[in-house]
């Protein structure tokens, strides 16, 4: 019965263009993902709401896990011809991210960090890292090296930040992008790539 129910929900989601985040039958959550920065912002606002208002860390975790790309979803973000050992390091990092638990998802943002900001820059803009640009103000320095060596040209990447009202620094999530179907997140790969 659960399998049939999941298949029915999945078919409706495909027809409506809605991403259904996997999990047990009782912890699935849907969110219509669209290739627009305001949609990415709304997704992170929903994560915060699930954690701190509804206290539903299962659904928050399902939403966060839906951002972690598999091999096919990571390809649109990465240059062609990367070394196999680099691809293996990226896959290992994303596997660790998939292993996140409910207790960890509850720490993704503090309850007071209710403001979500989304900052966009192209691979080329991140590589230039021009003083005063969105890339230099909002993307960590490690993203510059990735843009020069690893990220696919022509792709727009986003930093998503949870902030307290009136503050300009908070919790950031790195290198989100539209993979052609939904939002995906590379994360802080500069910390793991050698």
3-state DSSP assignment of residue 169: coil
Q: How far apart are CA 143 and CA 176, in angstroms?
A: 12
User: CB count, 10 Å around CB of 9?
Assistant: 15
pLDDT digits (tens, 9 = 90+) for 121-142: 999 999 999 999 999 999 999 9
Give pTM, 2 decimals: 0.81
pLDDT digits (tens, 9 = 90+) for 41-66: 999 999 999 999 999 889 989 898 99
């Amino acid at each position: 019965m659960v399998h049939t129910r999941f298949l029915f929900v999945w078919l409706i989601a495909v027809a409506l263009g809605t991403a259904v985040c996997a999990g047990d039958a009782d912890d699935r959550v849907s969110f219509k993902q669209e290739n627009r920065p305001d949609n990415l912002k709304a997704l992170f606002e929903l994560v915060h709401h699930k954690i701190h208002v509804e206290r539903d860390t299962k659904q928050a975790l399902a939403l966060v896990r839906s951002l972690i790309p598999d091999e096919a979803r990571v390809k649109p973000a990465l240059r062609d011809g990367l070394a196999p050992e680099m691809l293996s390091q990226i896959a290992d990092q994303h596997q660790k991210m998939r292993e996140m638990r409910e207790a960890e998802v509850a720490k993704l943002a503090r309850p007071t960090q209710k403001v979500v900001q989304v900052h966009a820059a192209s691979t080329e803009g991140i590589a230039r890292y021009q003083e005063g640009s969105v890339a230099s103000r909002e993307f960590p320095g490690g993203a510059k090296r990735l843009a020069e060596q690893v990220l696919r040209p022509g792709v727009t990447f986003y930093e998503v930040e949870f902030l307290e009202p009136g503050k300009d620094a908070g919790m950031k999530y790195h290198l989100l992008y539209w993979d052609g179907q939904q939002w995906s997140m590379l994360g802080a790969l500069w910390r793991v790539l050698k």
